[in-house]
Structure 1
Amino acid sequence: MNPIASIKKNLAFIKLRKLVVAALLVGFLSAMLALTLKHLTEHYENILLAQSQSNRWYLLLFPVLGLSVIFILRQYLFKKKENKGIKEIFESTASKKKNLPIYKIPSHFFNGFLTVIFGGSTGIEVSTVVATATIGSVAQQKENLFRQYKTELISAGVAAGITALFSSPIAGILFALEVISKKRSRTFFLMTGLAVLVAYGLLFIIDEPPLFALDIAVWHYHAIPYFIVLGILAGLHSVYLTKCVLFFKSEFAKIDSHYTRILIGAGLLSVALLLLPQLYGDGYHAITDLIHPKNFSFSPLFLLTLLAVLFVKPLVTSITLASGGDGGVFAPSLFIGAFLGFLIATIGNSLCGADVIPVNFVVIGMAAMLSASIHAPFTALFLVCSLVNDYTLFFPILAICLISKYTAKLIYPFTVYTYAPETLK
């Protein structure tokens, strides 16, 4: 081998070794951040939720307290900059000069935590995604070699964060591919693969259980028409969710006073929580109640409650985000999909003699709504299968996720992440 070829080979090996180390480190830090935020939020959300159940008047206090603390932190600690969610990642990956500043890690960590534990009707997923993306962004600024791999390092952080939250390395990689990068290269798959490997290894070591462990025995072919209806309705409802978020953000932006925004947002959120406590926080406690119902009986009041939850949830999620809360449509989509699936199964069984299995519809509904809301059917498929730790419904979920996504896209081509006012000009 001639000297020049040898030098090139050595440089390529050094470059590869540095990229591997960077991916492993980003993966570990992102997984640790995601797991810490997940468990802290779950612990304190349960405490405050129990307090609100013993004394409903706490629901008047919690939202204004949470939004006020977030505002104070932003004003005095986080450079008076509002968090814009996943759009911040898009802005960074689209520009060679614009990077995610390091303060975005504590900003999204604390703001996401405070939003959910004090009743904000969203989840920590988007907060985790942006915080872990920032870890990748900071890593690429540390050495000139990494600058050409900014998108790959950001994607590695995001993939590891999603893996840690939902115990699904495939969903982590697919989310980074379908939503964040949309760029296929060997370097992308190498770095995201190593990052999720570290994250999944960490989950294995601590024996992290799935969020909704289920044992789904079977699904029936006679349920297929109802599955299709669920997919179409999920697509329609995802457009309603998207439009609500965009509308309330636009309207609240017209309010000059931050204090007025907080008071209006907290007031509306408190009223909604008093009437429908299922909407508190990320709503995973309410999904668990659907999966394992106690003393269930169909009645007009029960039907009206389900319909109210489906109609009001997009409104309170939008109000939470517009008034200063941190989060996105990830957890709300899972929540809405679960309730929509349960509603269709309940109506089918009670009024049409469908003889379908409600828990199957809850699971498929979660995936269908998430797929339609973020236009990522394969991410939704593997993520929800990992959430319940069961792949029995793999093929129905895949089909319905595609139906829901293209139904939503046919009606409105944007998600809350991809919409920009200039796209309509």
Structure 2
Amino acid sequence: MNKTARIKKNYQFILFQKLVIVSVLIGFLSAFLGISLKKITEYYEEIFFHKASLHPVFFIIFPVFGLSVIYFLRQYLFKKKENKGIKEVFESTRTGSKNLPSYKIPSHFINGLLTVIFGGSTGIEVSTVVATATIGSVAQQKENIFRKYKTELICAGVAAGVTALFSSPIAGILFALEVISRKVTRAFVISNVISVLVAFGLLSILKEAPLFTISITTWHLKAIPYFIVLGILAGINSVYLTRCVLFFKAQFQKIEVHYYKILLGSAILSISLFIFPQLYGEGYHAIKVIFSTSEMPLTVTLTLTFIGILILKPIVTSITLASGGDGGVFAPSLFIGAFLGLLLASALNTFFHVNVIPINFMIIGMAAVLSASIHAPFTALFLVCGLINHYTLFLPILVVCLISKYTAKTIYPYTVYSYAPSLIK
């Protein structure tokens, strides 16, 4: 081996070593951030929601207080910068000169936490994604040799963050691939596999339980036609969610005084929470309740409640984001999917006596709406399987996720991530 070849080989080995080390660090820090945000949010959301349930006046106080605090933090602590969500990550990966500044880590952590615990009808997932992407972005800025791996290291942070939230390493890697990178390189495989393994290892050490503890026994071939219907309905609902987010953001941008946005958004959110407390925060508490009561017959009151929730959830999510809240469409999609699946299954059982399994429809509905909302069926598949730590429904979830995604794309080809403001009608 000549001297040039030996130097090149040594350089590649050193580069590989450094890539492994930085991937471990990104994986650990991103997972730690994701787990911390999840735990803190769950703890305080439960306390504040319980308080508001006992004293409904807090449904008025909490939203306006939370959005006001976020506004003042942005004004005086975070350089008056608006959080753009995952679009910030796209802008960073698609341009070599633009990086995610380090203040995005505390900004999204704190603002995502405050939004949800004070009743904002969204989730912490996008806040986690942007914060962990920033960890990867900051890491690649520290060494010149990592500049060409900018996208890969940002994806490593995102993958570890998603793994921490949903206990699914495969979902973490697939989300980074399907939504952020959209291409596979050797550096992507190395950095992302290492980061999610570190994240999953931390989850195992901390003995993190799945978000939903339910028992899935089987599914029946006779339910396939109804699963297809669910996929189509999920696609339609996801388009409704996407259009609501885009519409209300455009309308609120016309309001020049930001505090008017907060007052208007808080008023609409408070009224909605009075009518349907299930809309408070991430909504996972409501999903857990309907999991435990899924076998009840469908009445007129229950039907109107489900329909009202399905109509209002995209609206209050959109208004939460448009009035200054921090979050995205992950948790709302899972929420909408669970209620949509239960409504369809209950209607089939009550009026057509087909005896489908409601819990199966809820799980599949969660994955289907998420798949259609972010155009990432494989991410949705493994993410929801990770949420329940069960793969019995793997095949029907896969089929329905593909149906819902292509139904949504046929109706409206954009997601909230891919839409350009210039396209607003």
TM-score bracket, shorter-length normalisation:
over 0.9
Shift of residue 421, structure 1, vs aligned partner: 2.7
1:187-202 equivalences under 5 Å are: 187-202=187-202
CA distance in 2, matches of 1:334, 1:151: 27
Is 1:329 aligned to residue 329 of structure 2? yes
Distance 1:233 1:294, change over 3 A: closer
CA distance in 1, matches of 2:109, 2:296: 37
CA distance in 2, matches of 1:28, 1:320: 31
Shift of residue 214, structure 1, vs aligned partner: 2.1
Shift of residue 294, structure 1, vs aligned partner: 7.8
Q: Which residue of 1 aligns with 2:247?
A: 247
Residues 368-394 of structure 1 deviation map (CA, whole Å, 9 limit, x = unaligned): 000000000000000001101110000
Q: Which residue of 1 aligns with 2:259?
A: 259
Is 1:25 aligned to residue 40 of structure 2? no
Q: Which residue of 2 aligns with 1:113?
A: 113
Q: Which residue of 2 aligns with 1:401?
A: 401
1:27-46 equivalences under 5 Å are: 27-46=27-46
CA distance in 1, matches of 2:424, 2:315: 23
Shift of residue 5, structure 1, vs aligned partner: 1.2
Q: Which residue of 2 aligns with 1:276?
A: 276
Residues 258-316 of structure 1 deviation map (CA, whole Å, 9 limit, x = unaligned): 11000000010000000000000000001101111189342101110000000000000
CA contact (8 A) 2:234 2:372 kept: yes
1:162-201 equivalences under 5 Å are: 162-201=162-201
Shift of residue 224, structure 1, vs aligned partner: 1.0
Shift of residue 225, structure 1, vs aligned partner: 1.2
Is 1:138 aligned to residue 151 of structure 2? no
1:249-398 equivalences under 5 Å are: 249-293=249-293, 296-398=296-398
CA distance in 2, matches of 1:47, 1:327: 20
CA contact (8 A) 2:297 2:346 kept: no
CA contact (8 A) 2:112 2:325 kept: yes
Is 1:14 aligned to residue 27 of structure 2? no
SS in 2 for 1:44: helix
Distance 1:382 1:18, change over 3 A: same
CA distance in 2, matches of 1:247, 1:195: 37
CA distance in 2, matches of 1:344, 1:295: 12
CA distance in 2, matches of 1:296, 1:360: 15
Shift of residue 7, structure 1, vs aligned partner: 1.0
Distance 1:52 1:177, change over 3 A: same
SS in 1 for 2:83: coil
CA distance in 1, matches of 2:193, 2:107: 27
CA contact (8 A) 2:41 2:117 kept: yes
Counterpart AA for 2:376: A
Residues 222-274 of structure 1 deviation map (CA, whole Å, 9 limit, x = unaligned): 11111111000000010000000000000000000011000000010000000
Residues 333-376 of structure 1 deviation map (CA, whole Å, 9 limit, x = unaligned): 00000000000000000001110000000000000000000000
Q: Which residue of 2 aligns with 1:236?
A: 236
CA distance in 1, matches of 2:296, 2:377: 31
Is 1:69 aligned to residue 75 of structure 2? no
SS in 1 for 2:356: coil
> Percent same amino acid at aligned positions?
66
Counterpart AA for 2:143: E
Counterpart AA for 2:129: V
TM-score by length of 2: 0.99
Distance 1:297 1:413, change over 3 A: same
Shift of residue 199, structure 1, vs aligned partner: 0.1
Residues 1-20 of structure 1 deviation map (CA, whole Å, 9 limit, x = unaligned): 22211111111111111111
CA contact (8 A) 2:159 2:176 kept: yes
CA contact (8 A) 2:297 2:350 kept: no
CA contact (8 A) 2:295 2:358 kept: no
Counterpart AA for 1:234: A
CA distance in 2, matches of 1:321, 1:296: 34
Shift of residue 418, structure 1, vs aligned partner: 0.5
Counterpart AA for 1:185: T
Is 1:416 aligned to residue 416 of structure 2? yes
Shift of residue 422, structure 1, vs aligned partner: 3.5
Q: How many positions carry a matched residue from both structures?
A: 425
Gaps of 5+ in 1: none
Structural RMSD (CA): 1.1
Q: Which runs of 4+ in 1 moved over 3 A?
A: 294-297, 422-425
CA distance in 2, matches of 1:295, 1:396: 21
SS in 2 for 1:371: helix
Residues 62-103 of structure 1 deviation map (CA, whole Å, 9 limit, x = unaligned): 000000000000000000011000000000011111000000
Is 1:204 aligned to residue 204 of structure 2? yes
Q: Which residue of 2 aligns with 1:215?
A: 215
Shift of residue 423, structure 1, vs aligned partner: 5.3
CA distance in 2, matches of 1:294, 1:397: 19
Q: Which segment drifts farther, 212-221 or 278-287?
A: 212-221
Counterpart AA for 1:187: A
SS in 2 for 1:119: coil
Distance 1:20 1:423, change over 3 A: farther
CA distance in 2, matches of 1:365, 1:394: 13
CA distance in 1, matches of 2:243, 2:4: 59
Residues 158-192 of structure 1 deviation map (CA, whole Å, 9 limit, x = unaligned): 00000000000000000000001101111101100
CA distance in 2, matches of 1:278, 1:224: 30
CA distance in 2, matches of 1:297, 1:323: 38
